[in-house]
Amino acid sequence: MSKFFKGTTFKVLTAVAVILIAAAVFAAVSDSASSPLTRAVSIVTSPFERAASFLSEKVDSFTGGFVSADSYRKRVEELEAQVADYRAQLVDYENAKKQLESYEQFLDVREQNPDYQWVYCTVIGRDSADIFNSFTLGRGSTDGIEVNDAVIFSNYLIGVVTEVNPTSCVVRTVTDPGVNIAAYEIRTGEIGYVSSSAEQSVNGSCSLSGLDKNTAVSKGGIVCTSGTGGIFPKDLIIGTVANVEQSGTDISANAVLEPAVDSRDISNCFVITSFGVK
């Protein structure tokens, strides 16, 4: 029994009893219409009521925070949708800008060759394993493109279409060993054909072969298509002479060419689907 009187429970009960008695005495001497007991209970429970009210306000505020967060989330989603739309518009703008620049560069060529029929194309694929740098365009037979159509950038010959699908086509470049082009050097008028060896192709060069061993073609000369054979229009620029070498197999000479355009830098171009013979 003595342990109970010394325990924490007894102390707590004693404290509560003292508080109630004190509250009852205060209520009795105060001017109030309520009974002393009711007044005493009110005095004791008032702090708890205020604490409960405070907690209730905080809970309501916390709940309101959740509502606001949901509103913010919806607003963020709306803004993200707007940003995605702006990005799509920017892509369309950049594509239109590139197309306009290509048309401007092609304008002089078209004015000088009104017989050209052409299709604007963009590069949609490259084969990193292809050492000859062929590439794929996003236009095909449904756009009137056929095998052997010339591919140009401004008035520079890039290559020739070798494979065609309904919505795409494959282009081999002027440095591909499988491409042969009838050509001439504009200063001397000497004719030959442009082709490339595997070694030259890897280095991004090609040659104007079939020249006389005493050729007057020299470094800096410009080589263009001759139009012979009807595959390529006449006077498209192929490249510039880097140097002239004597052939090791016969009495002819070869002019090593640097292509006018690096096909690896091309992102858009034109495919000539038809042209008049000059």
4-39: pLDDT as tens digits? 555 666 565 566 555 656 555 555 555 455 555 555
Q: What is the pLDDT of residue 249?
A: 66
Structure tokens at 108: 């002089």
pLDDT-wise least confident of 54-68, 137-151, 242-256:
54-68
pTM: 0.63
With left for phi above 0 and alpha for psi between -120 and 50, is residue 144 left, alpha or beta?
left
250-270: pLDDT as tens digits? 678 999 999 988 888 888 899
In eight-state DSSP terms, residue 195 is: E
Q: What is the pLDDT of residue 181?
A: 96
Q: Across 106-110, 198-202, 254-258, which has the greatest mean pLDDT?
A: 254-258
Q: Across 44-53, 77-86, 161-170, which has the greatest mean pLDDT?
A: 161-170
Q: What is the pLDDT of residue 14?
A: 65
117-274 folds as Thrombin, subunit H (2.40.10)
Indicate if the pLDDT at residue 75 is higher than 80: no
Average pLDDT value over all residues in the chain = 79
Contact between residue 270 and residue 119 where contact means Cβ atoms under 8 Å apart: yes
Indicate if the pLDDT at residue 237 is higher than 80: yes
136-169: pLDDT as tens digits? 999 999 999 999 999 998 889 999 999 999 999 9
Indicate if the pLDDT at residue 207 is higher than 80: yes
d(CA 96, CA 92): 6
Structure tokens at 53: 């009210």
d(CA 182, CA 58): 87
d(CA 46, CA 42): 6
What sign for the dihedral angle of Cα 119, 123, 127, 132?
A: positive
- Ordered by start, the domain boundaries in the chain are 1-84, 117-274
Contact between residue 255 and residue 187 where contact means Cβ atoms under 8 Å apart: no
- Output the CA–CA distances (angstroms, integers) from residue 273 to 38, 89, 202, in the order listed: 103, 31, 29
Q: What is the pLDDT of residue 13?
A: 58
Q: What is the pLDDT of residue 213?
A: 85
Indicate if the pLDDT at residue 132 is higher than 60: yes
Q: 219: closest CA among 187, 263, 181?
A: 187
Q: What is the pLDDT of residue 196?
A: 93
Between residues 51 and 145, the one the model is more confident about: 145
